[in-house]
Amino acid sequence: MAAQPSRIVAIYPGSFDPITSGHLDLIERGSKLADRLIVAVLENRRKQSLFSVEERVEMLTEVVKPFPNVEVGWFHGLLVDYVKSRGANFILRGIRAISDYEYELQIAHMNRRLSPGVETVFLMAGEAYSFVSSQLVKEVVSLGGDVSGLVPPLVEERLKRLMAAPR
């Protein structure tokens, strides 16, 4: 009997506060490499966020609809525990610049030490989005700048609404 090819189940973890077009580009490209891609929002109580985990999951769920093998989840605690709980074998992360590389290298080594069977795979940011971060997008919107094209339209709408009526 022919051996079953092993399935690639990847987790793409992050804050996604909010999701940007850079994240979405990575999701689209990652979805072509994996059989299943799970985009996972990290609930980090130590980090102040603009959107709640529920809101981030809701926005992500909407924007990943075009990709049938992509789903959305959330987790707290150790990423490697979440990876195991979802039966995944890969972690997907993006690299925009050298500054990302240094941070990502450290985290990838730690995750491999914690869970030797799980590999972290990196994709280079799309050229058009290598300067885009959730943080910068929030700053620009808060100062009245235009971020169209840098975030999905529904996120732009949510950001504008939030800036018009801050909570």
Residues in touch with ligand ADP (CB under 6 A): 14-16, 20, 22-23, 26, 93-94, 96, 100, 125, 129, 132-134
Distance CA 148, CA 155 (A): 10
Beta carbon of residue 134, minimum distance to ligand ADP (angstroms, whole number): 5
Q: Are 66 and 100 in contact (CB under 8 A)?
A: no
Q: Of all residues in this chain, which one has the CB nearest to ligand ADP in the complex?
A: 22
Beta carbon of residue 2, minimum distance to ligand ADP (angstroms, whole number): 36
CA distances from 156 to 59, 80, 110, 160 (A): 11, 32, 35, 6
Q: Are 108 and 114 in contact (CB under 8 A)?
A: no
Show which residues are catalytic. Answer: 23, 47, 96, 134
Which is nearer to ligand ADP, 59 or 125 (by Cβ)?
125
Phi, psi of 2 (to 5 degrees): -65, 140
Which is nearer to ligand ADP, 6 or 32 (by Cβ)?
32
Which is nearer to ligand ADP, 76 or 165 (by Cβ)?
76
Return all residues near 47 (Cβ < 8 A) that are at least 6 apart. 15
Which is nearer to ligand ADP, 51 or 89 (by Cβ)?
51
Beta carbon of residue 108, minimum distance to ligand ADP (angstroms, whole number): 10
Beta carbon of residue 93, minimum distance to ligand ADP (angstroms, whole number): 4
CA distances from 2 to 6, 8, 151 (A): 12, 18, 45
Q: Are 51 and 151 in contact (CB under 8 A)?
A: no
